[in-house]
Amino acid sequence: MYTAQQLERARTLAYKHSGITLGANKDVMIANRLDKLKRDVGHDDIDAVLSAIEHGRHIETFISSFTTNKTNFFREEFHFDDLKNRVFHEAIEKGGEFKIYCSASSTGEEPYSILMTMEQAKEEYSRPMLNYSLLATDIDLDVLKHASNGVYEWNKNAEDFPDWIKPANYFKRRPHPSRDGDYLIKVKETLSRRVRFNQHNLMAESYPFKNEGFDVVFCRNVLIYFSQADQNAILKKLFRTLRMGGTLYLGHSESPLELSPYVERYGQNIFVKVKELP
Ligand SMILES: C[S@@+](CC[C@H](N)C(=O)[O-])C[C@H]1O[C@@H](n2cnc3c(N)ncnc32)[C@H](O)[C@@H]1O
């Protein structure tokens, strides 16, 4: 078990390095994360580990231990339906490059779902030459590495693909090295060449891509880890990267908060920018 002081040091570090706010009801979770941290750092003395982090060492390991990376392919599928059936037509009308930003991409299932949706839409609407790109960022280097490798377990994910997606079009398959009857699937190059993975902390003072003018921004199931004040600050910074008329997708229990006067709601947690922030 950990002392109240050790838990508090972990809370302070989590906020400092990621903005993640861990309430008083999260002691068990913090304890589990500290167990993982000790294993990953390879040191059993938690005070020594916390001191090292306070002095600037093992920061990436600490961040990886404290982030929650739960995700899956086509999570909240209605957002991908909207991307294919409404937003894609804007891409056709607009011409030029269509730019999408996925701001908490975790192990890659969400950005690859976006890419599969765009590829499927290109086929459905006979627009093979449509030009689009995706920037995917996360704070956690471990998940970014997993995402760039693009390798997943088939049995774990098979149920997540909607009827209108044929995984064989987008993944190569090979037998699982240690589980009979299972496969590993790897994203094909036709898909992976469309995405750039970068590390980015949503709490950063300014965003390096703020003049990008994204057509679509995904920010799903990450705001919930921040305080309301920080959620507002992040939403405003993200909003400035979105072009007028662009679409913002939020997670199922997230809301646009102070952005409300500047957006129009198009469906479940789908918001279109109708006004610039002052
Ligand atoms: C629960 S996952 C959600 C993944 C995906 N967006 C989805 O909806 O399935 C939350 C992700 O947010 C990332 N994250 C947490 N704090 C962050 C921060 N300050 N900046 C950027 N990403 C952060 C975590 O590393 C994690 O991969």
CATH 1.10.155 fits 4-66, yes or no: yes
Query: Residues of the chain with pLDDT > 90: what percent?
Result: 95
Look up the CATH superfamily of 78-149+192-273: Vaccinia Virus protein VP39 (3.40.50.150)
CA 239–ligand 1 middle distance (angstroms): 17
Check residue 225 and give its pLDDT: 97
pLDDT band at 198 (very low <50, low <70, confident <90, very high): very high
Inform me whether the pLDDT recorded for 232 exceeds 90: yes
DSSP the chain: ---HHHHHHHHHHHHHHH-----GGGHHHHHHHHHHHHHHHT---HHHHHHHHHTT-SHHHHHHHH------TTSSTHHHHHIIIIIHHHHHHH-S-EEEEES--TTTHHHHHHHHHHHHHHHHTT-TT--EEEEEEES-HHHHHHHHHTEEEHHHHGGGS-TT--GGGTEEEEE-SSSTT-EEEEE-HHHHTTEEEEE--TTSSS-TTTTS-EEEEEE-S-GGGS-HHHHHHHHHHHHHTEEEEEEEEE-TT---GGGGGGEEEEETTEEEE-S---
Inform me whether the pLDDT recorded for 36 exceeds 80: yes
Closest residue CA from atom 3 of ligand 1: 221
Closest residue CA from atom 7 of ligand 1: 71
Inform me whether the pLDDT recorded for 46 exceeds 90: yes
CA 19–ligand 1 middle distance (angstroms): 11
Closest residue CA from atom 2 of ligand 1: 69
Inform me whether the pLDDT recorded for 95 exceeds 90: no
Q: Which atom of ligand 1 is nearest to the CA of 203?
A: 19
**Ligand 1 site residues, Cβ closer than 6 angstroms:** 18-20, 67-71, 75, 104, 106, 110, 138-140, 143, 201-203, 220-222, 225, 251
Residue ranges per domain, the chain?
A: 4-66, 78-149+192-273
Q: Which atom of ligand 1 is nearest to the CA of 143?
A: 27
CA 70–ligand 1 middle distance (angstroms): 8
Q: Which of 69-78, 130-139, 201-210, 232-241 has the lowest mean pLDDT?
A: 201-210
